[in-house]
Amino acid sequence: MKRDRLTALIAVTALTIAACTTAAGDTTTTGGPGATGPVGGGGSVLAAVMDRGSINCGVNNAVPGFGFVDADGNHVGFDIDFCHALAAAVFGDPDAVEFIDLTAEQRFTALQSGEIDVLIRNTTWTSSRDGTLGATFLTTTFYDGQGMMVRSDSGFTSIDDMADTTICVLSGTTTELNLATRMTGIGYTPSTFDDNGQIQAAFLEGACDGWTSDKSQLAGVRSAWPEDDGGPEALTILDETFSKEPLGPAVRDGDAQWAQIVDWVVIATIQAEEFGITQDNVNGFADTENNDIRRFLGLEITDAEGNTSVFDAGLGLPADFAAEVVAAVGNYAEIYDRNVGPDTPLGLERGVNALWTNGGLHYPPPHR
Amino acid sequence: MSLETVRPTLPAAPGPSWARRNLFNTWYNGLLTTVLGGLLFAGIWLGARAVAGFDITILEVNLRLFMVGEFPRDQLWRPWLSGGFLAAAIGLAAGLIQAGSRERAARSGLPFTPTTPRDVVRRLAPVIGLVVVLLLLTRTITPTLLTVVVAIVGIVFNVSGRRLHSRWGWVGVGALVVAGYLSLAAFGGVGWEDWGGLHLNVFLTLAGLLFAFPVGILLALGRRSALPVIRALSVTFIEVVRGVPLIAVLLFGAFAIGFLLPEEVRPSQVTRMLIAITAFEAAYVAEVIRGGLQAVPHGQTEAAQSLGLPGRKTMALVVMPQALRASIPPMVGQFISLYKDTTLVAILGIGELLETSFVVNSQPDFLGKGLFVVTLAFAGLIFWVGSYTMSREARRLERRLGVGER
């Protein structure tokens, strides 16, 4: 009798453990290339989004300028504005978006499981993320890169000068690895910290000769440097960029239509800047004779025979989606200046994020 | 042969003071006390200076974010209304407990000392202090006035609860709690998936324990069941869940439920956390109650059986009430640790109090100012007040119920 009970207990335990391990196995393997099709009923993401009436946008809630929560509980930032732009394009309502705060660890799982429709969370486009995490990366919204900040009076003008120095860096980040790669052959001592606040304290005490991080972060730190330590002028960010960090939106693999929609919404903001269309003047183009702009804004076009038509690119979006986007969040320059530009606490110059016509990297494919 | 009465040794007459007996009884203890006391004082002093020396604007402008997270600002009357209902529920419950004690005392002829307002103030002193601190951070008079109204509502219901002694009183408490929830979520309100700040921590604690309690009782009974399958399932569940850190259960809830269920029926992140917390707490509550069940002498069961009570009634009327009474103090301990553990949902980016104290530092106005020390100290203070008050109440309850003495 007692033995029977023991057997039963062992059997039940074994079954439970088997069930648990299978479930755990599912979660890990779904992350592989197997997870291609859109999850969530197997339908298209656009159809699911239209049904729901809002877009689930995976964002960050703690990156200054790019995605944070203000005192009234609203999400604000550069990445956040692209979520609003997408909602404006799909629904004509920039507020038809649910923000889902994600940690770095969670973000790709949330994307694969269909919990979010799009991930706009300062995520670097890399080959392995494209290849093994089931994500499709789209037009880059922000070109970042790792840089080095030193004291202006230190005399360092390039990273090669910095032999036998102590360089402060966040622990456990790719930043640390990039630093090691860049400093190959140059003797240096890395000093690692858990957060930027600690590095700032160490830097103020003179414990670091250099501070390396993404340039956008360094610029933010520099612009807020305490006045009693000389203010921003006391620090210099060296020109060299020694890693590439293209940040942009990502969607799930397997739904080309949705990927194209997100892609062209981002492109529309850049194109609007190129055309000089802003949030204020977007409604003033009704009489323009520039057919490129008419097509872009979904205005009627009269061809050589006198027939009028409205250009529809066939993306699954309303013909005037670009006009809605610009009316909602403005063009790329406006989004940039409002959130991270020179007049904000981050104080980032456009640099490589300028239009191609100004020597930057943003080159929108034509809308026709 | 004469019977000798063995008396317990009574405590000696008051001798040297407590400090002299415990802190300075030997030279090395004296030295240790002096050094550690000095360090403690320096730590407190430095901490206070650090906090006071920093700008507390970050707390003032973000107070609502700390309290209710992203709750829509045009709906803030809902948390206040809900607070009123909850104050009424707590006041009424406390009043009913008083009425019950008075009645029991009258029946047994024992003296009854009612809880005076002075006792209440003393017992709630940390909470009152915290409320004052919070109100000092507000920038308008409205929150102060509303707090006074909520307090008055609680007092009025407490006074009426003391006069009332009927089962309907407890039905009223339940109704007030439900009304408190509905005033937040129903009629165009905001469901719990969008709650945040301290509000979310408190909700997860209360709801987690509320849901875990019945499950825990069933598991505890299941573990003592004569049916091998039920017993094996209960033991497996309890031991597997107790053998895993809460953070693993939370991650499993967040990721596995997301993958296993199709989108239409997939619960929100907060609901998943609540499910995970409920499962985790149920296992611990089950063990606490099992401890309580074991504390009930077997003679009680035998006595009930000799009266002809069937097994179910023996459990429901004789054993379980005594077991639950013995379980109350450890249950409060469990409650306190759950209250603090709710901060773990921050790892999933859910905006509860601790997460909020991090993210507010990303706002442009406070960027790079190193105000983490202020916001974390603030969140720590709030958690400490709650936990400390609860543990003091637990000790009082333990004394009153005489657990550990019989």
Is B7 a domain residue?
Answer: no
Alpha helices by DSSP H, listed for chain A, are 2-29, 45-52, 78-91, 107-112, 127-132, 174-182, 196-204, 215-223, 256-275, 291-297, 321-329, 332-339
Hey, is the C-beta of A235 within 8 angstroms of any chain B C-beta?
Answer: no
Which phi and psi (to 5°) does residue A351 adopt? 55, -130
CB proximity under 8 Å: A 109-128 to B: 109-110, 113-115
Rounded Cα distance, A236 and A102, in Å: 33
Say yes or no: B276 and B129 in one domain: no
Q: Which residues of A touch B252 (CB under 8 A)?
A: 24
Q: Residue A38: is its pLDDT beyond 60? A: no
**Residues B368 and A220: beta-carbon distance below 8 Å:** yes
Same domain, B165 and B236: no
* Interface residue of B234, B263, B273, B352 to substitute, partner A, most A CBs within 10 Å: B263
Q: Answer whether residue B263 is part of any domain.
A: yes
Query: What CATH number should be reported for the domain holding residue B334?
Result: 1.10.3720.10
What does residue A307 show for φ and ψ, rounded to 5 degrees? -80, 140
Range of the domain at B79: 72-190
Q: Decide if A115 and B370 are in contact by the 8 Å CB cutoff.
A: no
B361 domain residue, yes or no = yes
Q: For residue B133, is it within any domain?
A: yes
Q: Output the six-digit token pair for B15.
A: 């001798």
Average pLDDT rounded to a whole number, residues A104-133: 87
B360 lies in some domain: yes
Report ipTM for this prediction: 0.77
Q: What percent of chain A has pLDDT over 70?
A: 87
What SS3 state is found at A340? coil
Query: Does the residue B329 lie in any domain?
Result: yes
CB contact (8 A) between residue A41 and residue B262: yes
pLDDT at position B133 is: 81
A4 to chain B, any CB pair closer than 8 A? The answer is yes
Q: Do B266 and A101 touch (CB under 8 A)?
A: no
Of A5, A30, A64, the CB nearest to B259: A30
User: How far off is chain B from A13, nearest CA to CA, in Å?
Assistant: 6
Name the DSSP class of A137.
Answer: E
- Residues in chain B, pLDDT under 70: 1-17, 19-20, 45, 48-54, 165, 368, 370, 402-406
CB-neighbour burial class of residue A236 (10 A; exposed 0-12, middle 13-18, buried 19+)? middle
Tell me how far apart the alpha carbons of residues B316 and B322 are, in angstroms, rounded to a whole number. Answer: 10
At A363, the pLDDT band (50, 70, 90 cuts) reads very high
Examine the domain organization and report whether B208 and B175 are in the same domain.
no
Could you tell me if B273 and B289 lie in one domain?
yes
Exposed/middle/buried for A222, CB within 10 Å: 0-12, 13-18, 19+? Answer: buried
**Residue B24 at interface with chain A, using a CB cutoff of 8 Å:** no
**By C-alpha distance, which of B365, B368, B370, B345 is closest to B355?**
B345
CA distance A294 to A5: 79
B252 lies within 8 A of chain A by CB: yes
Long-range Cβ pairs for the range B79-83 (8 Å, 24+): B79/B184, B79/B199, B80/B146, B80/B150, B81/B183, B82/B180, B82/B181, B82/B183, B82/B184, B83/B150, B83/B180
Boundary-marking domain end, from B123, B157, B190: B190
**Measured distance CA(B334)–CA(B289) in Å, rounded:** 12
Query: Do residues B185 and B209 both lie within one domain?
Result: no
**Distance (Å) from the C-alpha of residue B264 to the closest C-alpha of chain A?**
8
- The answer on B197 and B185 residing in a single domain is no
Residues B83, B183 within the same domain? yes
Residue B200 and residue B95 share a domain: no
SS (H, E, C) chain B: CCCCCCCCCCCCCCCCCHHHHHCCCCHHHHHHHHHHHHHHHHHHHHHHHHHHHCCCHHHHHCHHHHHHCCCCHHHCHHHHHHHHHHHHHHHHHHHHHHHHHHHHHHHHCCCCCCCCHHHHHHHCHHHHHHHHHHHHHCCCCHHHHHHHHHHHHHHHHHHHHHHCCCHHHHHHHHHHHHHHHHHHHCCCCCCHHHCCHHHHHHHHHHHHHHHHHHHHHHHHHHHCCCCHHHHHHHHHHHHHHHCCCHHHHHHHHHHHHHHHCCHHHCCCHHHHHHHHHHHHHHHHHHHHHHHHHHHCCHHHHHHHHHCCCCHHHHHHHHHHHHHHHHHHHHHHHHHHHHHHHHHHHHHHCCCEHHHHHHHHHHCHHHCCCCCHHHHHHHHHHHHHHHHHHHHHHHHHHHHHHCCCCC
- Binned at pLDDT 50, 70 and 90, residue A22 comes out as very low
Q: Which of B190, B213, B229 is the last residue of a domain?
A: B190
Bigger pLDDT: A178 vs A33: A178
Q: Do the Cβ atoms of B228 and A71 come within 8 Å?
A: no
For residue B79, which residues of chain A lie inside 8 Å, CB to CB? none
Q: For residue A70, list chain B residues with Cβ-Cβ distance below 8 A.
A: 363
Instruction: Indicate if B143 and B199 belong to the same structural domain.
Output: no
Between A69 and B261, the higher pLDDT residue: A69
Instruction: Quote the pTM value.
Output: 0.80
Q: How many separate domains does chain B show? A: 2
On whether both B243 and B276 belong to a single domain, the answer is yes
Cα B153 to Cα A343, B85, B141, B198, B295: the distances in Å are 49, 8, 19, 22, 40
Contacts of A115 in chain B (CB under 8 A): 258, 266
Determine the average pLDDT of the residues in A355-367.
93
Asked, for residue B44, whether it belongs to a domain, the answer is no
Residues 322-351 of A with CB under 8 A from B: 344-346
**In this predicted model, what pLDDT tens digit does every residue of A266-300 receive, in sequence order?**
999 999 999 999 999 999 998 888 989 999 999 98
Q: What b/e string do you get for A30-62 counting C-beta neighbours within 10 Å, with b at 16 or more?
A: bbeeebeebbbeeebbbebbeeeebbbbbbbbb
Element (H, E) at A171: none
Q: What is the pLDDT of residue A31?
A: 34
Q: Does residue B213 share a domain with residue B125?
A: no
Give the full edge-to-edge strand order of the sheet including A188-193: A188-193, A165-170, A210-214, A146-151, A235-237
Facing residues of A245 across strands?
A: A144
Q: Which of A13-22, A45-54, B8-17 has the lowest mean pLDDT?
A: A13-22
- From the list B196, B349, B372, the residue facing A103 with the nearest CB is B349
* H or E stretch covering A146: strand A146-151
- For the ranges A59-68, A256-265, B101-110, the lowest mean pLDDT is seen at B101-110
With a cut of 90, say whether residue A260 has pLDDT above it. Answer: yes
Residue B240 contacts A, CB cutoff 8 Å: yes
Q: What is the mean pLDDT of residues A216-221?
A: 81
Interface of A with B in 176-215 (CB under 8 A): 195-197, 200-201
Picking from A61, A72, A201, the nearest residue to B349 by CB comes out as A61
For chain A, domains (ranges, CATH) are 42-144+244-287+315-360 (3.40.190.10), 146-242 (3.40.190.10)
Q: Which residues of A touch B361 (CB under 8 A)?
A: 62
On whether residue B36 sits in a domain, the answer given is no
Q: Which residues contact B207 (CB under 8 A, 6 or more apart)?
A: B192, B274, B278
Q: Are A45 and B45 in contact, with CB atoms under 8 Å apart?
A: no
How close B307 gets to chain A, by Cα (Å)? 31
**Residue A139's closest CA among A50, A26, A271, A12?**
A271
Q: Which of B137, B166, B190 is the last residue of a domain?
A: B190
Residues B338 and B390 in one domain: yes
Using the Cβ of A16 and the Cβ atoms of chain B, whether some distance falls under 8 Å is answered with yes
* Cβ neighbours of A103 (radius 10 Å): 17
pLDDT single digits (tens) B34-92: 778 777 877 776 776 666 666 778 888 888 889 888 888 888 888 898 888 998 888 88
Using CB atoms within 10 Å of the CB of residue A28, give its burial: 0 to 12 exposed, 13 to 18 middle, 19+ buried: exposed
Which of B73, B233, B259 minimises the CB distance to A72? Answer: B73
Q: What is the mean pLDDT of residues A111-137?
A: 89
Residue-wise pLDDT tens digits, A315-346: 989 999 999 999 999 999 999 999 998 888 88
CA distance B234 to chain A (A): 10
